[in-house]
Structure 1
Amino acid sequence: MKLHLVDPKTLTPEIFRVFGTQNALVAAGDQSGCNTMTVGWCQLGRLWNQPVCTVYVRPSRYTYSFMETRDYFTVSVLPASEKETMKLCGSRSGREIDKVKACGLTLCRGAGDAPFFDEAEWVLVCKKIYTQDLEPACVQDGTQILPYYESGDWHRAYTGRVVEAYTK
């Protein structure tokens, strides 16, 4: 494996640059099966005095069922050169295609058997500690937000405690 385990407190990802240009793959599952999808929305910080990562997944996505039934998820930030991988993982469903195989990704496992990818620049392995559906009634200024939900299908937020971090 090219990645090595590091203390999450020492990892300083460029979160605003990465999620504005490169995006990442969120993955969930175990030895019995897994799925991944491109994710462009992510938050890192501290909550309840723990390092956390929050990702957002729509119920219509195949990855949603893996997020719902597993305790761990991962965020793998791939190099900018992996645009085709990001495009395929964001546009094709795992119901129809094995995205890991189709993209030639090297599957690794972290805490809780959580899947991540050796091609990543850095990876966070997270144990779910909180989930909550985004709700239209909670939107304060919908001018920029509501267009994302013209067809409904509001995201569910998954907050996980960062239990492992990997980097090159």
Structure 2
Amino acid sequence: MKLHPVDVKTLTPEIFQVFGTQNALLTAGDKTACNTMTIGWCQLGRIWNLPVCTVYVRPERYTYQFMESHDYFTVAILPAGERKTMQVCGTKSGRDVDKIKECGLTLCYGAGDAPFFDEAEWVLVCKKAYVQDMDPACVVDQVHIAPYYGEKGGWHRIYTGEVVEAYTR
């Protein structure tokens, strides 16, 4: 069954449960060039009376340059059996390998030519609404963040996007 558009207001809370059991692919770019990466951090909700999706990207990641240069991004939830795809997209850099081709993913495009994958169970197409760097000085409890920083890389940039389109099976 192909993905089809769905009204954002009709999405069920199931989509909130996939983070923690299934990872997702964050993709940014357009029809000329794009990159995707596995993400495990994502927040969904409302701000300014808009449905929003918030993702986090380190400046060292190749996807970061696409997030910075484009107004739209997508979050695609793949089926749980797509472990190899998640591993490739989470461990290899788009600077060195065409992850989309290697994983056999089928590109589709939403609003703003935002790329996503036909293999997804759900897709959110988001238009950037707010961008801010995380600030280590604002962390209240340092214990919880220790595994995520240090030698692993820089602090994430926060991207909150208005969900302008949604697709499901």
Length-normalised TM-score, structure 2: 0.96
Amino acid at match of 1:25: L
Alignment RMSD (CA, Å) = 1.1
User: Comparing 145-154 with 127-136, which one deviates more in the overlay?
Assistant: 145-154
Aligned partner of 1:76 in structure 2 is 76
Q: Determine whether 1:156 maps to 2:157.
A: yes
Distance 2:138 2:114 in 1: 32
SS at match of 1:143: helix
Deviation at 1:27, TM superposition (A): 0.1
Distance 1:2 1:100 in 2: 18
Distance 2:13 2:3 in 1: 15
SS at match of 1:21: coil
Answer yes or no: is the 8 Å Cα contact 2:16–2:44 preserved in 1. Answer: no
Distance 1:41 1:107, change over 3 A: same
Deviation at 1:12, TM superposition (A): 1.6
Gaps of 5+ in 1: none
Answer yes or no: is the 8 Å Cα contact 2:129–2:161 preserved in 1. Answer: yes
Give % identity.
74
Deviating 4+ runs (over 6 angstroms): none
Distance 2:149 2:138 in 1: 13
Length-normalised TM-score, structure 1: 0.97
Cα deviation code 1:98-150 (max 9, x no counterpart): 11100000000000000000000000000000001111100000101133111
Aligned partner of 2:67 in structure 1 is 67
Aligned partner of 1:35 in structure 2 is 35
Gaps of 5+ in 2: none
SS at match of 2:51: strand
> How many residues are treated as equivalent by the alignment?
168
Q: Determine whether 1:11 maps to 2:11.
A: yes
Aligned partner of 1:122 in structure 2 is 122
Distance 2:51 2:146 in 1: 30
SS at match of 2:140: coil
